[in-house]
Amino acid sequence: MIVIDTANHISALAAKMARARVIAAYPITPQTTVVEKLAEYVESGELDAEFIRVESEHSAMTACIAAEAMGVRTFTATASHGLLLMHEMLHWAGLARLPIVMVNVNRAIGPGWNIWSDANDSMAQRDTGWLHFYCSSNQEVYDSIIMAYKIAESQEVMLPAMICYDGFILSHTSMPVEVPEQSKIDEFLPEFKPAWKIDVENPITHGNIVEPHYYARIRYDMQVAMERAKKIIEEVGEEWGKKFGRDYGLVQEYKCEDADYVILTMASMAAEAKVAVDELRNKGEKVGLVNLRTHRPMPFERLKYDKIIVIERAVSFGLGGIVYNELKGRVPELYGFIAGIGGMDVSYRDIERMYELAKEGKDGWYPIEVK
């Protein structure tokens, strides 16, 4: 079945078809229509779930943590300052090894107040122990949410997952999405089997004081799980491809086989960069594209190119481009552009221009200050 709808409504549909049993909801632009649509599904009886209207995003994540700890599949959605308000509980979810799935609709941080797309909200959460996936189309949003449950709930992983996509660019833009039958999704995604849960019949101690040695071990185990997640992400993406015809992995490569330069970007800019690559190829330029679908775990082993041009919609102040600096020292020739901050439009022609500047040995904030 083909559904033409916004990424926000597609997110709600994916959560419904994943059979999430607890929805924690708090509104924030440009995410609000995700939880509004889920409220409609619950009210109409299309979704058998508890819909919890909380008083803040902090409480939304707390509700998901509590429900997930009882062995129940959960879902929530947020954006921007809502995600920042969750920060404490994101660490809790990660350390507790609870495979919550959440959508974050990327939006700039204020002040000044800005409702347009900017990845600093999710990038600021990159060290909380969550898997981070970035989507370049509404189809990818749907597919990624379903796959995220299977990845996160794997006994080899058991970590929460955040699905990110650009506010308004995708959240409020309607695109055609292929949606399988519910029975096919049920075959792909079985019922949640928690690694641990709170059960009065089998009492456990959880969240108590932990001595330094054991705490270090908890952190170490999370790192090991992150590394194991790479294999699971690839396996689940391959399984999805065999079942539904769309393959996914840690990254998506396009025309990289003979490329002299590879443009690396993520989210909606990856779709625009694909057009730029085609245009540059028509001009005789050997350039390819890597869509960085997965930022945590960071797939360094899939980024072994001699010349990479990183274009990212986020910045770590005092350091620079986040992905750019994570790749520093690992790539022989690396160029970094910060572009699209605060929702500034980045067209394929802009990406072509950044490619030309990189060939001249230049990079920086585009178009504000290229050095």
Q: Does 3.40.50.920 match the CATH number of domain 252-370?
A: yes
Query: pTM for the whole thing?
Result: 0.97
Q: Where in the chain is the domain with CATH 3.40.50.970?
A: 2-244
Question: Using one digit for the tens of pLDDT, what is the confidence trace for 148-165?
Answer: 999 999 999 999 999 999
Q: Contact 287/259 with Cβ under 8 angstroms?
A: yes
Residue owning tokens 């819909």: 51
Q: Which residues contact 112 (CB under 8 A, 6 or more apart)?
A: none
Residue 211 Cα distances to 151, 222, 330, angstroms = 30, 17, 36
Q: What is the pLDDT of residue 134?
A: 98
Q: Which CATH superfamily is domain 2-244 in?
A: Thiamin diphosphate (ThDP)-binding fold, Pyr/PP domains (3.40.50.970)
Least Cα distance to 361 among 323, 299, 307 occurs for 307
Question: Using one digit for the tens of pLDDT, what is the confidence trace for 219-231?
Answer: 999 999 999 999 9
Q: Which residues contact 178 (CB under 8 A, 6 or more apart)?
A: 1, 2, 139, 244, 246
Q: What is the pLDDT of residue 205?
A: 84
252-268 burial: b if 16+ Cβ within 10 Å, else e: bebbbeebebbbbbbbb
Q: Contact 38/51 with Cβ under 8 angstroms?
A: yes
> With 0-12 CB in 10 A as exposed, 13-18 as middle and 19+ as buried, what is 135?
buried
Structure tokens given for 167:
């506010």
Within the chain, which residues score under 50 in pLDDT? none
What is the rounded distance in angstroms from the CA atom of residue 40 to the CA atom of residue 204? 37
Q: Where in the chain is the domain with CATH 3.40.50.920?
A: 252-370
Q: What is the pLDDT of residue 183?
A: 98
Helix (H) or strand (E) run with residue 218 in it: helix 212-244
- For 352, phi and psi rounded to 5 degrees? -60, -40
What is the rounded distance in angstroms from the CA atom of residue 209 to the CA atom of residue 228? 27
Bridge partners of residue 22, in order along the sequence: 50, 74
Q: Contact 192/73 with Cβ under 8 angstroms?
A: yes
